[in-house]
Structure 1
Amino acid sequence: MFDELQFYNHIQRDFPLELRPYFCAAEALGMSERMVLSLLARDLGAGRISRIGAVFAPNTIGVSTLAALAVPSARMDRVAGRVSADPAVSHNYARDGHHYNLWFVAGARDRPQLDAVLDDIAYDVGQAPLDLPLEREYHIDLGFPLSRGRHGAREARGPRETCTQPAQALSHADWRLIAALEAGLPLTPFPYHALARRCGISPTEILCRLAQWRNTGIIRRFGAILHHRKFGYAHNAMCVWNVPDARVDAIGMRLAHVPHVTLCYRRPRRLPDWPYNLFAMVHARSQAELQATLARFNAVGGLAAVPRAVLPASRCFKQRGTRYSCTLAAA
């Protein structure tokens, strides 16, 4: 009998880098290529998945930041609409629990272009966004385990310094490939041929570059990108702490292993408005599961005694992968 959860557990990462990848994925699961393509087409159309494609490691291509605005409730829809309309913005959420209540992620080819995005938003909404670029990651993995009672395997790793420049020099051809990947792989038997037509690079060369990027960690994950709410992860909260700088790395590494923590990283304080430097995102299937995870945080050594805030998501205005094609002309 077909198991949909097993299918998506399998296809969220390590998607085949083969000329006929859907056939290879189908064969590994005892399915037909036609069945795989039909299932993905159905769920793409229904908004259950956003694309088949790459999740790049933070700031290895271009730059990004987490930003926030303090928005009166009467202006929320208008301001959120302006933020979401910017093609550089990938995620945009209203969050309760703090006067900074509209949180978004923006990305660009380089820091000057990202600054221009933030400046334009500031001009239009009458407020400079809080700008919180990633400084060090402890755990980042938005592949969602879909079997109840299991939290998925976590890669053991030390904290990573995050550079403000790409990890390697990228050619114009590289950037064309990155731009072509943004919409995801087409649902055809030979998707890399279609990708080649988008970017002017041969299918063989595309596969070589993607394999190299995946092997070197530039691509963190390659596979189906799920809209997590559609798969039962309807509750999420951003938790933040003001941890002494000398202890933040040790505490962040411990926090990263708490079940249901999908993101954990260090970002700068912005005193006096924002005193927090340690962030964790929790995605849960129920309110009870979310609250249980929040309660576990107090058992993490060093966390119970430091100031914290919990910002649950109350509304999602935008959610998709970061796109760089809107800045190609400026490169």
Structure 2
Amino acid sequence: MDQFDDIDRALLDGWQREFPLSHQPFQTIGDALKIGESEILSRFTRLLGEGQISRIGATCAPNTVSASTLAAVAAPEDRIEEVADLINEEDGVNHSYLREDLWNIWFVMTGPDRDFVDAALARISERTGLRVLDLRLVRPFNIDLGFKLSGDGQAMPPARKVDHSVLEDGDKPIMSALSSGMTLSPSPYADLAAELGRNEGDVLQRIRILQDAKLISRLGVIVRHRKLGWASNAMVVWDVPADQIGEISPKLAAQKGVTLCYERRPVEDVWPWRLYTMFHAKSRDVALENIENAATLPELTGVTRKVLFSTRCFKQKGALISRTPKTEVPA
């Protein structure tokens, strides 16, 4: 990407995960790159303002301290803008895309609990007059969703088991704030602690514990992949029998170009697919090549698949975990 110099590339490639857990994390990054803290903050502020990153914060394991689901509607061609606007008016919608299929508007609905999600889906159905597919998560196999500026679709690290036993009462506000994004200041964890009325050291300790338990699946720079050149985004669904998903999914999740892999509940009369993968690449041809290569896995012989390329991103922000979230950076 010509608009980035080597320092920008280092910031984006090096801290999409394992963001420093220190009193002055931007100083820690500056020390590693032999650059002053003020320049690091200035560069991240510019990248945020130009839309290359959406925030510096966390992605959290789904359905742990909050609820979420993947949903879709089949919007008539002449109503796509109207329906997308109605969907995105819901605070809990954190991602929404137009995809190449009869079921063409896809979105992730998040909220503090399942009742919140169900109510929001019901409102969308009522306001649009359309059926809403509620495709609930069964098992995640790869939810990293990191993007490197170098290379083209490296295999992502395999998912680790989430340890729910470490959760404490005060963890949800921390995860909610990190999901919305940290302040771009010399001491963002101190800012977070002050906002929550807690001690910075205690907050840092809890974040470490939540990361180790994989309740926080990734802490770092959350990029907007299209702005970084990853313009070809395809959701590929596979018609795999339920009793074979556990064997096939880890192998599929490790394939080049796969950034997400999970099992979801089908909707028998209209949507039979159980196994989902996301492929991201810098061109449609590369994405299709990666999909074809993944399909050569012996376990996928004879398995039917459907490829849904995204053609437009309507909304992208952090998940809604609490009912009074921090102000989000507009998508």
Per the normalisation by structure 2, the TM-score is: 0.91
Question: Does residue 279 of structure 1 match 2:276?
Answer: yes
Q: 1:99 to 1:2 in 2, by over 3 A?
A: closer
Q: 1:76 to 1:137 in 2, by over 3 A?
A: same
Larger deviation, residues 247-256 vs 208-217: 247-256
Question: Does residue 41 of structure 1 match 2:45?
Answer: yes
For residue 231 of structure 1, give the secondary structure of its aligned residue in structure 2: coil
CA distance in 2, matches of 1:267, 1:181: 26
Q: Quote the residue 2:154 is aligned against.
A: 151
Aligned residue identity for 1:38? S
Q: 1:88 to 1:167 in 2, by over 3 A?
A: farther
Query: Which portions of structure 1, spanning 4 or more consecutive aligned residues, are displaced by more than 4 angstroms?
Result: 166-170
Q: Deviations over 1:62-121 (max 9, x none)?
A: 11100010110111101100111111000010100x311110001111111211111111
Question: Does residue 312 of structure 1 match 2:309?
Answer: yes
Q: 1:67 to 1:13 in 2, by over 3 A?
A: same
Asked if 2 retains the 8 angstrom alpha-carbon contact of 1:248 and 1:278, the reply is yes
CA distance in 1, matches of 2:54, 2:242: 37
- Kindly report the root-mean-square deviation, in angstroms, between the aligned alpha carbons of the 2 structures: 2.0
Asked if 1 retains the 8 angstrom alpha-carbon contact of 2:54 and 2:224, the reply is yes
1:111 to 114, 133, 152: 114
Q: Quote the residue 1:262 is aligned against.
A: 259
Aligned residue identity for 1:112? D
Q: 1:249 to 1:201 in 2, by over 3 A?
A: same
CA deviation after TM superposition for structure 1 residue 15, in Å = 0.8
CA deviation after TM superposition for structure 1 residue 196, in Å = 2.0
CA deviation after TM superposition for structure 1 residue 134, in Å = 1.1
Aligned residue identity for 2:258? V
CA distance in 2, matches of 1:298, 1:181: 36
CA deviation after TM superposition for structure 1 residue 257, in Å = 1.3
For residue 121 of structure 1, give the secondary structure of its aligned residue in structure 2: helix
Q: 1:78 to 1:249 in 2, by over 3 A?
A: same
For residue 281 of structure 1, give the secondary structure of its aligned residue in structure 2: strand
Counterparts of 1:143-222 in structure 2, within 5 Å, are 143-148=146-151, 151=154, 154-156=156-158, 169-171=167-169, 173-222=170-219
CA distance in 1, matches of 2:125, 2:293: 38
CA deviation after TM superposition for structure 1 residue 132, in Å = 0.8
Question: Does residue 72 of structure 1 match 2:69?
Answer: no
Question: Percent of counterpart pairs with the same letter?
Answer: 37
Q: Quote the residue 1:130 is aligned against.
A: 133
Asked if 1 retains the 8 angstrom alpha-carbon contact of 2:60 and 2:175, the reply is no
CA distance in 1, matches of 2:60, 2:75: 31
Aligned residue identity for 1:295? E
Q: Deviations over 1:187-207 (max 9, x none)?
A: 111112211222211211111
Aligned residue identity for 1:106? M
Larger deviation, residues 178-187 vs 126-135: 178-187
CA distance in 2, matches of 1:107, 1:298: 31
Asked if 1 retains the 8 angstrom alpha-carbon contact of 2:266 and 2:273, the reply is yes
Asked if 1 retains the 8 angstrom alpha-carbon contact of 2:98 and 2:311, the reply is yes
Q: Quote the residue 2:232 is aligned against.
A: 235
Asked if 1 retains the 8 angstrom alpha-carbon contact of 2:60 and 2:179, the reply is no
CA distance in 2, matches of 1:71, 1:19: 48
Larger deviation, residues 107-116 vs 36-45: 107-116
Q: Deviations over 1:48-74 (max 9, x none)?
A: 111111111122221110001011011
CA deviation after TM superposition for structure 1 residue 179, in Å = 3.2
Asked if 2 retains the 8 angstrom alpha-carbon contact of 1:180 and 1:199, the reply is no
Q: Deviations over 1:266-287 (max 9, x none)?
A: 1111111101111100000112
Per the normalisation by structure 1, the TM-score is: 0.91
Q: 1:191 to 1:169 in 2, by over 3 A?
A: closer
CA deviation after TM superposition for structure 1 residue 178, in Å = 3.0
Asked if 2 retains the 8 angstrom alpha-carbon contact of 1:6 and 1:146, the reply is no
Aligned residue identity for 1:5? R
1:16 to 20, 35, 40: 20
Question: Does residue 52 of structure 1 match 2:49?
Answer: no
1:93 to 75, 91, 97: 97
Asked if 2 retains the 8 angstrom alpha-carbon contact of 1:57 and 1:219, the reply is yes
CA distance in 2, matches of 1:36, 1:327: 30
For residue 230 of structure 1, give the secondary structure of its aligned residue in structure 2: coil
CA distance in 1, matches of 2:321, 2:233: 27
Larger deviation, residues 141-150 vs 252-261: 141-150
Aligned residue identity for 1:62? S
Size of the aligned set, in residue pairs, is 321
For residue 188 of structure 1, give the secondary structure of its aligned residue in structure 2: coil
